[in-house]
Amino acid sequence: MERCSSKESLVLGTMVLTVRAGLEPDAHEDFTVHDNLIRTHSPFIDAAMRNDWKEAQERLIKMPETDPVCFHIYVQWLYSSRIHSAVTTAAKPGSTIWAYSKALNREFDTLVGCWIMGDVLRDTDFQDATMDILMKLCRTIHGLGIEILGPLAHYVYAHTTGKTSPLKALLVAHTTVSLTPRKMELFFKEDYPKDFVTEVLSAVYRRWNNGNTGQLLNLEAKCETYHQHYKTGGPCYKDKLPKPMPL
């Protein structure tokens, strides 16, 4: 265990509020969180609590479109600065690679949901931390030769705005590398969003034109490509994490 500076400890206060994630009456879950902590991280929650709305008076914020699984990961992140998304650590002896890849794909889907929820909360640190895990997952999934697309492209393109969304860029990069000439036929059979198809084909053309047909997925954790904080010039979440102070 590393010790850290007391100056970098959480400032919690005594007030709490409740976030209701998911659809009522039976698909929701309530999360009680320290007011100061969540409002420091989420401008969306802060704005909701500043207004004289019912939410602020009742100290209850409803997010019906948010998956409770994603919000659980968010609460863990707020208190621990860790992303607790893993449902499996490695392929277990005796289990098939198929079972392992299904678990990774499920985690990938959950983290995509987390990134989109981070957009609603306007918490760019959470989005950037989530993105770093997504990139690692992409590398592993690609190494196993598994597809991650399916309905995901539809979901991402319906829930993100702007051509420069890092989530779209990640999906396009992964698909571009996975798309061998043999798989091209399958790609066209799917009814993917038009913008997605256009971006993938442009990237494939550039890649093949440059003579790069290698299988390595070059997903560097570069702030300028995949982190939201870079657009506003703010510091990276990595520089805000508590630093260990060795004795």
Binding range to Zn ion, per CB under 5 A, among 68-76, 112-120, 140-148, 228-236 = 228-236
Number of residues in contact with Zn ion under rule CB under 5 A: 3
Our finding on whether 142 is near Zn ion (CB under 5 A) is no
Our finding on whether 221 is near Zn ion (CB under 5 A) is no
Our finding on whether 34 is near Zn ion (CB under 5 A) is no
Please identify, using beta-carbon distances, which residue of 201 and 236 lies nearer to Zn ion.
Answer: 236
Please identify, using beta-carbon distances, which residue of 34 and 227 lies nearer to Zn ion.
Answer: 227
CB of 234 to Zn ion, least distance (A): 9
Cα distance between residue 200 and residue 134, in whole Å? 19
Binding range to Zn ion, per CB under 5 A, among 1-9, 115-123, 141-149, 223-231 = 223-231
- Number of C-beta neighbours around residue 92 at 10 A: 11
Our finding on whether 236 is near Zn ion (CB under 5 A) is yes
Which residue, judged by CB position, is nearest to Zn ion in the bound state?
Answer: 236
Cα distance between residue 247 and residue 236, in whole Å? 27
- Residue type at position 23: L
Query: Per the structure block, which two tokens stand in for 100?
Result: 């392992």
Cα distance between residue 173 and residue 100, in whole Å? 23
Listed as own residue / partner, the contacts of 228-235 with beta carbons closer than 8 Å and 24 or more positions apart are 228/124, 228/127, 228/128, 228/131, 228/166, 229/124, 229/125, 229/128, 232/124, 234/124
Pattern 176-215, binding to Zn ion, x per CB under 5 A? ----------------------------------------
Our finding on whether 223 is near Zn ion (CB under 5 A) is yes
Our finding on whether 227 is near Zn ion (CB under 5 A) is yes
Q: Which helix (H) or strand (E) holds 20?
A: strand 16-21
144 secondary structure, DSSP code: T
Please identify, using beta-carbon distances, which residue of 71 and 126 lies nearer to Zn ion.
Answer: 126
Give the footprint of Zn ion on this chain (CB under 5 A): 223, 227, 236
